Structure 1
Amino acid sequence: MLTTLLNKRSKSLLALAAATTLMAACGQGQDAGQSETASSGTDSQAQSGEQYSRSQLRIVGSSTVYPFSSYVAEEMGATTDFRTPVVESTGSGGGFKLFCSGVAEDTPDMTNASRPMKASELKMCQDNGVEDVTQIMVGYDGIVVGRKAGEPALDLSREQLTKAVAAQVPQNGQLVDNPYTKWSDIDASLPDTEILVYGPPTSSGTRDAFEELVIEHGAENIDGYNGEKPAIRQDGKFVPSGENDNLIVQKLAQNANAIGIFGYSFLEENRDKIQAAKIDGVEPKRALISSGEYPISRSLFFYTKNAHVDKIGGMNEYVTLFLSDQMASDRGALKKLGLISLPPEDLEQIRENWKNKEKVTEASLKGSHG
């Protein structure tokens, strides 16, 4: 069953992405058993008891969570009477902008995120009438620094990575534009090859997490930054490569000297093409990521717009399926795609949070960042 659905998922992703543009502009036809009442897509309608006319869930957000979300969507479409939800990879930041734009038919029902929602994003939601949101933590992920399979293994410190990608570095008591062009310029023990890093764009939660867990840490431990977090260089040594991490994998497979930054699930799916570097001497392994011993570990989430639960069929069913043992547990199908599952007691608590539609607050977000 898993192999069949994986094949089906790979064939369907292009169709899902194409459908998203249409979904953003208009509603879809009504499924049997749903209300035939048409929706105007206005905020006043959202306060009524009417259902939306579109019959597919719309999900946006993180490229890291996208493979898991798409798999659950495909499973739901294949095993229930609901249409397959449309899932779009917009990046975590881009997803929150769309999600928080209002309570209306032409806005997403959920958004995936590879970092917690920011307080500023919660305020954006509230300012636009999106006041009832539940945070669903689905598991853990490690940010991988990888290169082409078969090349010499790398062991990089976060300080070395910071020096490779920072726009400015300390030299002779002052910050100067980054002069490093080769890895060996940073440390003679590193390869004598040009620095070329394919990484996520500014809209990506992976970029946010990399900046926090690598660059902020590196700057704190390199004399001369004096508490300042450097920006990422824009001289061609760091190349933002869009929200599709598979493109980074393809570029690494074609260039033995390049390294890339992406989520652990893409390593799991492409071990024949790419390999992971150790970070501060630690490999990105499941147990080391879930324990936090791997230095670039993070939690994965999605957020639900609860005002839409009664407006469009399938939200409860989708979330329940995602959080089921069949999907999200250590025995679930998403493990084979690279998801690092929550402990059983934590997963059960997340299910209770969804059952009770626990509302996101600024205080709860601070706990998520903790």
Structure 2
Amino acid sequence: MKKLAASAIALIMVAACGPTGGGANGAASQGIWATGSSTVFPFATRVAETFAQRQGGAAPRVESTGTGGGIAAFCEGVGVGTPDIANASRPMKASEFDTCVANGVDQVLEIRIGSDGIVIATARSGADFDFQPQDIYLGLAAETPNGSGFQANPNTAWNQVRAALPSQAITVYGPPPTSGTRDAFLELAMAPGAEAIPALAALADSDEDRFEVIAHTLREDGRWIDSGENDNAIVQTLTRTPGALGVFGYSFLEENLTQVKAASINGVQPNAATIADGSYPLSRSLFIYVKISHLQTTPGLAEFIEEFLSDAAAGQDGYLADRGMIPLPADQLAAVREAVRARTPMARPA
């Protein structure tokens, strides 16, 4: 399996080509521009490399800025100087959609490209972990239940969270607030872990807003460490930091299996099968968002999307599966292609 270094080199090369973006009022742009999720980045870069080889000319510009940052740039407006595509490792939020519409980005294709899992990993030489959902919350939440109220998280070692866990300090490197991986981790790991605790399950029923704050707030005492948008850097940190854990996308685990290993959740290991069927609890969908107006004005954009959804790329035996993405079932991929062909704009998220 190819390492991400080649993709990083490709990014530097195409970024050097200068600003690109969709055209406005019929004006052609200089090239295709995609920005956003660090998880989608290696997939989009691989498609960009293949597209350039097949079409000739410069590869599309692909940036890793995090899902939140990518969607924010995407929603700034239409035309030259704005991205054609936002890469995302979670669905667009209603508030983001509203920002898009307010800025004239009112016709957007939401394209699901495949699935991924979020892993909690450690160096291959480290201890084995089998987490229950509540372990993750109790280890990483800023506040935990204490009688009828809450207290600053007192746990400093994993065996304080649950005796069966390894006796090692809680040190977890993970993505920053701008990352879709961070958002998905809060939704898929922290919130279910909180709901598994009776006091917090009761709070979820009585005060949903308060529950969300408690469940989604990570500790800031040095036990959880924001590590930027480069998931591959987290992998390298784990190899240099004995006992530390890291949170990142499954594709990065696949790329680095000689260096790191994943914890299981409820006894389920992350792999292609458990992510595809949803039995691994931290499974998620991956998306790209495309401005419909830019399909008319950005040369090659429609063909780039076609390459992204081709059997050669997104199919069961496609090159994106080799990179670590879990492909959509054939019928779902066919439905996505049809929506793209019809240029059916997404509805406002619930």
TM-score where L is the length of structure 1: 0.88
- Name which of structure 1's ranges 71-80 and 216-225 shifts more when overlaid on structure 2: 216-225
CA root-mean-square deviation? 1.8
CA distance in 2, matches of 1:191, 1:15: 44
- Name which of structure 1's ranges 169-178 and 85-94 shifts more when overlaid on structure 2: 169-178
CA distance in 1, matches of 2:51, 2:264: 37
Structural mapping, 1:182-193, within 5 Å: 182-193=157-168
Equivalent in 127, 132, 135 of residue 107 of structure 2? 132
Q: Which amino acid aligns with 2:168?
A: T
CA distance in 2, matches of 1:279, 1:325: 32
Q: For residue 291 of structure 1, what is the aligned residue in structure 2?
A: 277
Structure 1 position 10, deviation (Å) = 4.5
Structural mapping, 1:177-216, within 5 Å: 177-216=152-191
Structure 1 position 7, deviation (Å) = 7.1
Structure 1 position 330, deviation (Å) = 0.8
Q: For residue 40 of structure 2, what is the aligned residue in structure 1?
A: 65
SS of alignment partner, residue 195 of structure 1: coil
Contact 1:110–1:305 under 8 Å retained in 2 = yes
Structure 1 position 235, deviation (Å) = 0.7
Task: Spell out structure 1 runs of 4+ moving beyond 6 A.
Answer: none
CA 1:6–1:182 in structure 2 vs 1: closer, same or farther (change >3 Å)?
closer
Q: Which amino acid aligns with 1:159?
A: Q
1:19 and 2:5 matched: no
Structure 1 position 224, deviation (Å) = 2.7
SS of alignment partner, residue 310 of structure 1: helix
How many positions carry a matched residue from both structures?
A: 339
SS of alignment partner, residue 290 of structure 2: strand
Contact 1:143–1:263 under 8 Å retained in 2 = yes
The unaligned stretches of length 5 or more in structure 2 are 205-210
Q: For residue 28 of structure 2, what is the aligned residue in structure 1?
A: 51
Q: Which amino acid aligns with 2:332?
A: D
CA distance in 2, matches of 1:305, 1:190: 47
CA 1:257–1:175 in structure 2 vs 1: closer, same or farther (change >3 Å)?
same
1:238 and 2:224 matched: yes
Work out the percentage of aligned pairs sharing the same amino acid: 42
Q: Which amino acid aligns with 1:348?
A: A
Contact 1:279–1:295 under 8 Å retained in 2 = yes
Q: For residue 122 of structure 1, what is the aligned residue in structure 2?
A: 97
- The CA deviation string for residues 166-193 of structure 1, in whole angstroms up to 9 with x for no partner, is 0000123320001111111111211221
CA distance in 2, matches of 1:355, 1:74: 23
Structure 1 position 276, deviation (Å) = 0.5
Structure having greater relative contact order (Cα 8 Å, sep ≥ 6): 2
- The CA deviation string for residues 53-81 of structure 1, in whole angstroms up to 9 with x for no partner, is x2x21100111100000000011112212
Structure 1 position 19, deviation (Å) = 3.2
SS of alignment partner, residue 306 of structure 2: helix
CA distance in 2, matches of 1:187, 1:308: 52
CA distance in 2, matches of 1:335, 1:360: 26
1:307 and 2:293 matched: yes
TM-score where L is the length of structure 2: 0.93
Q: Which amino acid aligns with 2:289?
A: Y
